[in-house]
């Protein structure tokens, strides 16, 4: 079974991340989502969002767009309490 693909090509920041966040809510930990995006901001925004949420991302350039393979984790990244 292949991963669901979110086609965010032609959408500008912050829409690719918003679409990814909405789709991720309905998926269990360990699920994989693929986002196709051609907005240059997505190269930074999608990995940053994934880190904050405890997910992992791998990238694959495919000509005019980038495919982001997001593996959903179970928990948001832990906030540091050092020095508290």
Give me 80's structure tokens. Answer: 């540091």
Does the annotation mark 9 as catalytic?
Answer: no
Cis, peptide link before residue 14, omega less than 30° from 0:
yes
Contact 70, 46 (CB under 8 A): yes
Catalytic one of 9, 13, 38, 57: 13
Number of other CB atoms surrounding residue 62 within 10 Å:
10
Contact 8, 39 (CB under 8 A): yes
Active site residues: 13
């Amino acid at each position: 079974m292949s991963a669901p693909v979110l086609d965010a090509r032609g959408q500008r920041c912050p829409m690719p991340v918003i679409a990814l966040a909405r789709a991720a809510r309905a998926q269990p930990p360990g699920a994989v989502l693929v986002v196709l995006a051609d907005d240059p901001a997505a190269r930074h925004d999608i990995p940053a969002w994934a880190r904050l949420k405890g997910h992992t991302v791998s990238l694959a350039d495919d000509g005019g767009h980038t495919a982001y393979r997001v593996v959903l984790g179970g928990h948001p990244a832990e906030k540091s309490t050092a020095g508290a």
